[in-house]
Structure 1
């Protein structure tokens, strides 16, 4: 029992809340991205992987080859919400992803934004990209952005901008501040579009509805369970919108 770790979705969310003012979470944390992410991705973790979580990656935008690699191994994927901070580079700059999805040959770092208006910190995307490459250990890396609306995204000091462009403008500064100078141009992607993917919460809601409607005939109890889990996803998106 001593070797057990806090890896459950609810446990990770509670740990995150413990570092914040609990008053923020009145009304069930409505509109807060951590709560939304937990309420959507916990049912997706339990539903049949290929039909639901795999479909999230099929319907994503960008990084086609990386998304296909994730889908090919989706049944073996392990999802962790609000993982521990990543210490990036020799300078141990802290990066806090919203989630990891790990398969034998891929690593997905997920950054989720709330459905209502939100923004990225100026160097946030570049820091997450460097953290992703540091942690990938030779696996295919994918930075998945779950957004309230399609790009361009709002980035502090940069305005409305495409995610890849925001990274390009700040990556050199991030490499310098982290001390991750081993990440030369040969090690970082030459085309960021091969690594960055995005999908909106509305698209996730729609695909879950589509997949639930197309379920094959199942035993009554199993059918009801799957439909309740799917409804939990759509209700969460509606609640937080």
Structure 2
């Protein structure tokens, strides 16, 4: 019998790349600017760093859904974190949702949707409401939290629909999805009303700032352990810096923001 094996972040990324077909050549430069490669590099590091000090702090300094964010931050140290976890079925719509990161805590179910630095990148019109429905369907009794990671602060861009504030952008397309899923008007109104308490955002630049600040806060550790954690934190920051300067993209000026 084969041992129980949870795929590593690298194997999950390779799985995603295997579906690219003719487009696989986009990864020849290490997938620079592409959200799957960026997400894998950053969250592999954040998972291995002391989570309360790094990932928890990122959640605390995000924007929106304050109560749910702080609950997620407080339990992230012992949460189950999956990067590129695969597909989650929405049975009523017969469609799959593919989160970038899926974090299961004791009281909060967190779905991370990260936007890469590819020029002109936009959310599909129904992408965010599908993820909201995915959380509702797969959170069990946990509070749902949709955490967006953006290249720039809102408004966010929806393909063919212009720019919107985050909450309004999640609401676009929600009514149509609920109708196709056979949900009642009351169910739709309930989902619409839940958006402010379960949708948050942060930028990659803010994450970079937080990681560097928290790295400098590490103290009182044996030198070898401190050096190891510093290398991981530097790797997270360098991944954000490198991906932000992808083809045709002007690198961000990473300054203190939070």
- Does 2:11 match 1:8? no
Asked if the contact 2:128–2:170 (Cα under 8 Å) also holds between the matched residues in 1, the reply is yes
Q: How does 1:78-97 map to 2 (within 5 A)?
A: 78-97=80-99
Q: Deviations over 1:207-240 (max 9, x none)?
A: 0000001111211110110000000011101110
Listed as ranges, the gaps of 5+ residues in structure 2 are: 245-258
Describe the superposition over 1:22-55 as per-residue Cα deviations: whole angstroms up to 9, x where unpaired. Answer: 2110111111110000111101100011110101
Residues 125-160 of structure 1: per-residue CA shift (max 9 Å, x gap): 111101111111120100000110011100012101
Q: Could you tell me how far 1:169 is from its partner in structure 2?
A: 2.9
Alignment partner of 2:99: what SS? coil
Q: Distance in 2 between matches of 1:75 and 1:172?
A: 36
Question: Do structure 1's residue 212 and structure 2's residue 215 form an aligned pair?
Answer: yes
Partner in structure 2 of residue 48 of structure 1? 50
Give the stretch that moved more between structures: 126-135 or 167-176: 167-176
**Paired residue for 1:232, among 232, 235, 242?**
235
Query: In structure 1, the residue corresponding to 2:77 is in which secondary structure?
Result: helix
**1:171 lines up with 2:163 in the alignment:** no
CA contact 1:115–1:149 (8 Å) conserved in 2: no
Q: Normalization by structure 2: what TM-score?
A: 0.88
How far apart are the structure 2 equivalents of 1:88 and 1:204? 31
The yes-or-no answer on 1:203 pairing with 2:206 is yes
Distance 1:229 1:166 in 2: 34
| Aligned twin of 1:35 | 37
Alignment of 1:73-222 (within 5 A): 73-117=75-119, 118-179=121-182, 184-185=187-188, 187-188=190-191, 190-222=193-225
Aligned residues: 241
What is the deviation of 1:167? 2.5
